[in-house]
Structure 1
Amino acid sequence: MSIKINTYITILMLSSAAFISPLITKGQSTSLDSSQPETVVQKKYGLDPSKPLAKRIGNTPPEIIQKFRDAGMSPTLHRLSKTDSLKVVRAFQMLPPLHQHILKEHLLGISFLDNMPNTALTATVNPEDQFPVFTITFRAEILKQDVSQWLTEKEMSYFTKDFPGFRIAIEAGKLDAILYVLLHEATHVVDGSLGILAMDQNKGTSGMAVNLKSFTRNIWVDRTSICPSYTDSLTSQSRFRGGGRLLPMELARQIYQSAAKGPFVSLYATSSWHEDLAEYLTVTHFTKRLKQPFRIIIHEGRKEIFIYEPMKSATVSSRISLMKYFYAKAGSSVLYERHVKPGGRGFNG
């Protein structure tokens, strides 16, 4: 089932049923200077940049609730316990410097829902403005899981369940799942706010920040089209490549062996270059900054028959140096480089 709201989409599937959640980013920030309308926009929507990020937990915007209801769903607001609130505080504190800075300026609030069919939904409040303001809604159930539990459940949802005895697990440590999901979604906010992977509509070419100009080169033809050299006949049939199918479990080993030859850190990263960036930065942060494992393991009964560590692949790890952009100190000019003309629209579908 899908909810369509304007431009480009982000998919974070938890169950076997595909659910598409929109990330609306028509608006495009330009360079931050005294002429910018960001303070006017922030005031208009009640966004206080000085308010701690973890204090921005509130109600889910009514229009998002309505979209779920229109699709036949009935999620309800989840009130966080003290334990849950501490998990959220820790997650915000562990984000890269650029993420923390941009979220302070652009994140209006976050909320949690019970009975939400997908993992997270990031959307702009003001898709027509140049200075975008975002909300993020999370599936509350992830607060009960560590990152390995959640990633394993999500990865298993990509495959058929008609091959008894076989299962896939992802070992990514015991940190809270909310950290992984928050970092992934926050990367979309940074991407949308700075126009990192925005399309230059006049030239038809990428208008991304110079520090990341090589991220999609020779990998992506456009936002959703992978270069032929990395197009795999098996994974191209998956739900996030437009095929809408579950991958055959009996071919899991071949699928990951093929994936090991490409640049993508996860199967989900193949859905678009925005998801590629969000997944790549998130896994890089977990493995290189937080020193956590990231291993994909195929089990046959109790036996491990295949282990794949994406970040140990030379092809996958070749883009790690580009991630330094997200770790520049606050105040550095690198944080505010824009390479889309003022008024240009990014992410138009």
Structure 2
Amino acid sequence: MKNLRAFLFWLVNIICLLFSISSSAQHKEAGKHSINLHEVQVRYGLDSSKPLSKRITITPDNIIKMFREAGMSPTEHQLTKEELATVVSAISRLPSFYQQVLKQHLKSISFLDNMPNTALTSSITGNETVRLYHITFRSGILHQNISEWVSEKERTCFSETDSTISISIQAGILKAFNYVLLHEGTHVVDGSLQIISADSVAGRPHMNDFTRKFTNGIWTNINTLSFPVTDSLAIKSRFRRDGRRYDNTEALEVYSELMKIPFVSLYSTASWHEDLAEIFTVYYLTKIYNQPFRIIIKKNGKVAGEFEPMKSDLVKSRLSLLHRLYIGPES
């Protein structure tokens, strides 16, 4: 069962990456289809005056079809009053700039039971230069706190070859939906405003200023890492193409290596979009809401190693760039 779950999670990660690449390709072909934001909103039925918490709907048919064609059987989830309160609270915790962008670009959200991954952000627009999105969430995260959920996710990177070793992440007791909404919201902000953008010019990527600074010495393109990052064990996880599940006996080495590269999590290494979403999410929760983010490895119940990526000099050197997401474009 664990192997099947890990395979399905890997499969959905690949699907999500293809969605991202496809959405970027559509945008680059869209110059001749340029129309303004309001026209696109009208075309796709997005009412920007409607509160985000009122945009909960059923999952689009194409998303359900995608999951079912991959051998999965998700079903719609109707929120309880308590679950809706969790959603409303998480929306209120978003940076004000995020709330502004999401009101203009996030048409709807939905929740599924039996969804193999945590969330999926999907573009609902075609070749328009303006992008609108739908986010699908796995309903189970509404009943977990961040520490529970992120620890569960992290353990899928390891095979339990030694039962005396445990891996967990202390990330506070806020509801997990706060983390996931902020992460997926970053994808919406990123895609809507082309925060990370690299068009092809003469066969070579031509990056905007933010992309050039954020990826310098780290990323060559959306999912290709640059030297010296490529020598690290930490970039060989199942989140990477050609990656693998580690033995849990490798955990200390994996996280020791993570502290030597400019990533806040293993999932950050999946693509430059996930890198941006992860570093901003962890930054915002640790710095604004004073939540911890500490990876703990135990052996026979005793702490064998603790790692705090946000204290890494390499990670901290990238944080000054994040004001672009926190306060919006510079005037």
TM-score by length of 2: 0.90
Name the SS of the counterpart of 1:43 in structure 2: helix
Q: Does 1:37 align with 2:33?
A: no
Report the number of matched residues. Answer: 313
Q: Does 1:334 align with 2:330?
A: yes
Structure 1 residue 97: Cα displacement: 2.3
Structure 1 equivalent of residue 193 of structure 2:
194
Distance 2:234 2:255 in 1: 9
Distance 1:322 1:97, change over 3 A: same
Name the SS of the counterpart of 2:112 in structure 1: strand
Structure 1 residue 303: Cα displacement: 0.6
Name the SS of the counterpart of 1:255 in structure 2: helix
Structure 1 equivalent of residue 311 of structure 2:
312
Structure 2 equivalent of residue 157 of structure 1:
156
Q: Which amino acid aligns with 1:150?
A: W
1:191-236 CA distance string (max 9 Å, x none): 111111121222533533x456411111111211111111135334
Name the SS of the counterpart of 2:303 in structure 1: strand
Distance 1:139 1:50 in 2: 26
Structure 1 residue 253: Cα displacement: 0.3
Distance 1:199 1:74 in 2: 36
Map 1:162-201; keep pairs closer than 5 Å. 162-201=161-200
Structure 2 equivalent of residue 144 of structure 1:
143
Distance 1:189 1:268 in 2: 18
Q: Which amino acid aligns with 1:201?
A: S
Q: Does 1:110 align with 2:109?
A: yes
Residues 101 and 189 in structure 2, CA contact (< 8 A), matched pair in contact too: yes
Q: Larger deviation: 238-247 or 84-93?
A: 238-247
Distance 1:175 1:117 in 2: 22
Q: Does 1:16 align with 2:6?
A: yes
Give the alignment's Cα RMSD to 1 decimal.
1.9
Q: Which amino acid aligns with 1:226?
A: L
Structure 1 residue 277: Cα displacement: 0.4
Distance 2:271 2:292 in 1: 25
Structure 1 residue 28: Cα displacement: 4.0
Structure 1 equivalent of residue 75 of structure 2:
76
Structure 2 equivalent of residue 338 of structure 1:
none
Structure 1 equivalent of residue 207 of structure 2:
207
Q: Does 1:259 align with 2:258?
A: yes
Distance 1:224 1:293 in 2: 28
Structure 1 residue 129: Cα displacement: 1.5
Q: Which amino acid aligns with 1:143?
A: L
Q: Larger deviation: 229-238 or 61-70?
A: 229-238
Distance 2:153 2:143 in 1: 15
Q: Which amino acid aligns with 2:47?
A: D
Distance 2:237 2:171 in 1: 23
Residues 296 and 307 in structure 2, CA contact (< 8 A), matched pair in contact too: yes
Q: Which amino acid aligns with 1:227?
A: S
TM-score by length of 1: 0.85
Distance 1:15 1:190 in 2: 30
Structure 2 equivalent of residue 240 of structure 1:
239
Q: Unpaired segments of 5 or more residues in structure 2?
A: 29-33
Q: Which amino acid aligns with 2:52?
A: L
Map 1:42-81; keep pairs closer than 5 Å. 42-81=41-80
Identity of aligned residues (%): 46
Residues 78 and 114 in structure 1, CA contact (< 8 A), matched pair in contact too: yes
Name the SS of the counterpart of 1:311 in structure 2: helix
1:56-110 CA distance string (max 9 Å, x none): 1110001111111111211000000111101111111111222111111110100
Q: Which amino acid aligns with 1:289?
A: I
Distance 2:27 2:182 in 1: 21
Q: Which amino acid aligns with 2:41?
A: Q
Name the SS of the counterpart of 2:177 in structure 1: helix
Residues 171 and 291 in structure 2, CA contact (< 8 A), matched pair in contact too: yes
Distance 1:260 1:188 in 2: 25
Q: Which amino acid aligns with 1:16?
A: A
Structure 1 residue 238: Cα displacement: 2.0
Residues 120 and 138 in structure 1, CA contact (< 8 A), matched pair in contact too: yes
Structure 1 residue 317: Cα displacement: 1.1
Name the SS of the counterpart of 1:86 in structure 2: helix
Distance 1:211 1:238, change over 3 A: closer
Structure 1 residue 334: Cα displacement: 2.6
Structure 2 equivalent of residue 135 of structure 1:
134
Residues 196 and 207 in structure 1, CA contact (< 8 A), matched pair in contact too: no
Distance 1:328 1:123 in 2: 24
Distance 1:78 1:50 in 2: 25
Distance 1:41 1:322, change over 3 A: same
Q: Does 1:122 align with 2:121?
A: yes
Residues 98 and 328 in structure 1, CA contact (< 8 A), matched pair in contact too: yes
Distance 1:252 1:232, change over 3 A: farther
Distance 2:237 2:162 in 1: 17
Distance 2:113 2:222 in 1: 32
Distance 2:200 2:212 in 1: 17
Distance 1:201 1:262, change over 3 A: same
Name the SS of the counterpart of 1:228 in structure 2: coil
